[in-house]
Amino acid sequence: MEEKLYPMKFDPIFLDKIWGGQKIRNILGKDYGELPNCGETWELSGVGGKVSVVANGPLKGKPLDELVATFKEALVGREVYAQYGDEFPLLIKFIDAAQDLSIQVHPDDELAEARHNGKGKTEMWYILDADDGASLIAGFNQPMDRQKYLDFFNSGRLEEVLNRESVEAGDVFYLPAGRIHTIGKGIMIAEIQQTSDITYRIYDFDRRDAMGNLRELHTEQALDALDFDFYEEYKTRYAEKTDHRNPVVQERYFTTNKLILKNPMTLYSDGEKLRILIVVKGEGRIQWSEGEFPVGLGDVFLVPAALDEVTLVPGTSLEVLEVLP
C-alpha cells in the first residue's frame, strides 16, 4: 500500500464571495471558470461537503477523506493519526480580498464543540500579494474588556479600538481562535488553519448581498468567543536565511517553516507527520525516489508521511511554506 503514495496535488475548490477578486486567476494562474470572482480557493480540505480530490498520479480522482481512511498512518503519519484518526487535521486556502472581509472571530475547540459539535479555528496568514496602502486588522490596539468592547461596538465606533496594520508580501500573522480580525481589500493570502468552517461575523460595513439583504451578524455568539487580551505586537517576525528551514509559526495545531532556496534541499520524514508544501514564490521541481514534477507559484502538495524523503530543486529561486500538523 505504501509504495503507491507520492506527492499529491488536489483540484482547487473555487468559491465566489461578495468581497472576492481576480488575483487567483491573474497572479496564481488558477482558472475558476464562469464564477464572477474568486474569493477563496480551498487547496487541501477534509471539510464535509468540500473535500479535496487528487489531481495527479495513480490516485487521481480519489477524495482526501477516502485516502486517509485507506492509508491511515502511511498518509498522515503515526503521531497525526493517533491524534486525529480519519479526520484530516488542516485546511489550506488562498484568499483574495478585493474588498474588506467582515470583522470576525472564530471559536476555540471547547466552544466549537459545545455549540457546533466541531473544531475551533486557529489560523495563520502569509501575505502573497498586497496593493499599495493595503492593511488588515488583527487584535485590539489598547487594553480591552467585555464592557469596554460593548461600549465601542454599540456606539458604532468598534474600528477605533482595533489594531490595523499595513502589510506587504511576506508578512505573517498568527491568529489563535478568539482573536478579532479581518483581511483588508487589496490583499491575497495563503491561509493555514484547523479543519473548521465556523465564523462569527461581528461587523460587515453595512454591506448588502446580491439580493439586497444585509448579511447575518453573530453579535452574541462572538462575545463568548472573543479574546479581549491586548498584545504589543501581532505580526509574526521570522528570519529569512537562504537554503535554511526558517521557523515561522510553531504552535499547538501546526508548525510552519519558510524555505528560501537557491540550491536543492532534501526533506526527510520519520513517519510521524505528513508534510504540506505551499509554493509562495518562484518555480522548480519536486523529486522523490519514483519520479519528479514541476512546481510553481500557487501549487500545494501533500507529501505523505511514508515517503522517506523528497527533494525541492529550485529554478532561479524557489520559496516554499512547509507545514506540519
On whether both 227 and 256 belong to a single domain, the answer is: no
Average pLDDT, the chain: 96
155 has pLDDT over 50: yes
User: What single letter denotes the amino acid at residue 46?
Assistant: G
- What pLDDT band is residue 136 in, cutting at 50, 70 and 90? very high
Burial class (CB in 10 A: 0-12, 13-18, 19+), 1: exposed
> How confident is the model over 110-120, as a mean pLDDT?
94
- What pLDDT band is residue 207 in, cutting at 50, 70 and 90? confident
What is the reported pLDDT for 215? 83
Region of 85 on the Ramachandran plot (φ > 0 left; ψ -120 to 50 alpha; else beta): left
Of 278, 152, 160, 173, the residue nearest 233 (C-alpha): 173
What is the reported pLDDT for 2? 45
On whether both 165 and 58 belong to a single domain, the answer is: yes
What is the reported pLDDT for 124? 98
On whether both 65 and 19 belong to a single domain, the answer is: yes
What is the reported pLDDT for 3? 52
Structural domain for 251, as ranges: 245-324
237 among known catalytic residues = no
What is the reported pLDDT for 28? 97
On whether both 279 and 223 belong to a single domain, the answer is: no
Among the options 25, 78, 179, 201, which is catalytic?
Answer: 201
On whether both 18 and 114 belong to a single domain, the answer is: yes
- What pLDDT band is residue 67 in, cutting at 50, 70 and 90? very high
Q: Of the residues 205, 236, 267, which one is the last residue of a structural domain?
A: 236
> What's the Cα-to-Cα distance from 308 to each of 71, 119, 163, 264, 287, rounded to whole Å?
16, 31, 43, 16, 12
What is the reported pLDDT for 214? 84
On whether both 171 and 272 belong to a single domain, the answer is: no
Of 116, 91, 92, 148, the residue nearest 218 (C-alpha): 116
Domain count, the chain: 2
- CATH number, position 289: 2.60.120.10
On whether both 254 and 216 belong to a single domain, the answer is: no
Which residue has better confidence, 7 or 216? 7
